[in-house]
Chains A and B, each alone.
Chain A
Amino acid sequence: MSRILIVAEHDGNSLNAATAKTVSCAADFGVEGIDVVVFAADGAAIAEQAARLTGVTRVIRVDHSANAQPLAAVLAPQVAALAADYSHVLGPSTTFGKDLMPRVAALLGVGQLSDIMDVQSAYTFRRPIYAGNAIITVEAPEDRTLVATVRVASYQAAAEEGAAEIESRDLDVALPEHTRFKEVRGGSSDRPDLQTAPRVVSGGRALGSSENFELIFGFADSIGAAVGASRAAVDAGYVPNELQVGQTGKIIAPELYIAVGISGAIQHLTGIKDAGTIVAINKDGEAPIFEVADIGLVGDLFQVIPELQSALN
Chain B
Amino acid sequence: MEKIMVAVKRVVDYNVRVRVKPDGSGVVTDGVKMSINPFDEIALEEALRIRERGDAAEVIVVSIGSSECQQQLRTGLAMGADRAILVETGQPVEPLAAARVLLKLIEREGVELVILGKQAIDDDNSQTGQMLAALWERPQATFASEIKFADGKATVTREVDAGLEVIEVDLPAVVTTDLRLNEPRYVKLPDIMKAKKKPLDTIAITDLDVTTDAQFKVTNFAPPEQRQKGVMVEDVAGLVKALKDKGLV
Interface residues of A (CB under 8 A from B): 11, 71-73, 76, 94-96, 98-107, 109-115, 124, 128-141, 144, 176, 178-187, 195, 223, 231, 234-235, 240-242, 247-248, 250, 255-256, 266-267, 273, 277-279, 290, 292-299, 304, 307-308, 311-312
Contacts and interface: CB of A to CB of B under 8 A. Distances in A.
B195 interface: no
B18 interface: yes
B124 A110 contact: no
B216 A139 contact: yes
Contacts of B14: 267
B121 A130 contact: yes
A109 B97 CA distance: 10
A181 B156 CA distance: 10
A67 B65 CA distance: 39
B230 interface: yes
Contact of B248 (A140, A256, A266, A298): A256
Given A95-B161, A110-B96, A179 B119 contact: no
Interface of chain B: mostly helix, strand, loop or mixed: mixed
A133 B220 contact: no
Given A111-B96, A184-B162, A308-B240, A247 B121 contact: yes
A267 to B, nearest CB: 7
B106 interface: no
Contacts of A139: 216-219
B189 interface: no
A296 B4 CA distance: 49
A146 to B, nearest CB: 10
Contacts of B142: 72, 95, 98-99
A98 B243 contact: no
Interface of B: 12, 14, 17-20, 27, 94-96, 99, 118-119, 121-135, 137-140, 142-143, 145, 155, 158-170, 173, 178-180, 215-224, 227-228, 230-240, 242-243, 246, 248-249
Contact of A278 (B96, B132, B221, B230): B230
Nearest to A240: B163
Nearest to B127: A102
Given A138-B217, A140-B216, A182 B168 contact: yes
Given A133-B224, A308-B240, A183 B165 contact: yes
Given A136-B221, A137-B219, A185-B163, A114 B240 contact: no
Contacts of B118: 248
A241 B167 CA distance: 17
A186 B162 contact: yes
B159 A296 contact: no
Contacts of A110: 96, 215
6 contacts: A76-B134, A102-B131, A103-B134, A129-B122, A178-B173, A183-B166
A96 B127 CA distance: 13
Given A102-B127, A295-B231, A311-B236, A135 B169 contact: no
Contact of A248 (B135, B160, B161, B179): B179
A264 B170 CA distance: 41
A136 B220 contact: yes
Contacts of B233: 295-297
Nearest to A114: B125
A99 B119 contact: no
Given A111-B96, A290-B232, A296-B230, A185 B164 contact: yes
Contacts of B131: 102-103, 105-106, 112
Contacts of A128: 124, 224
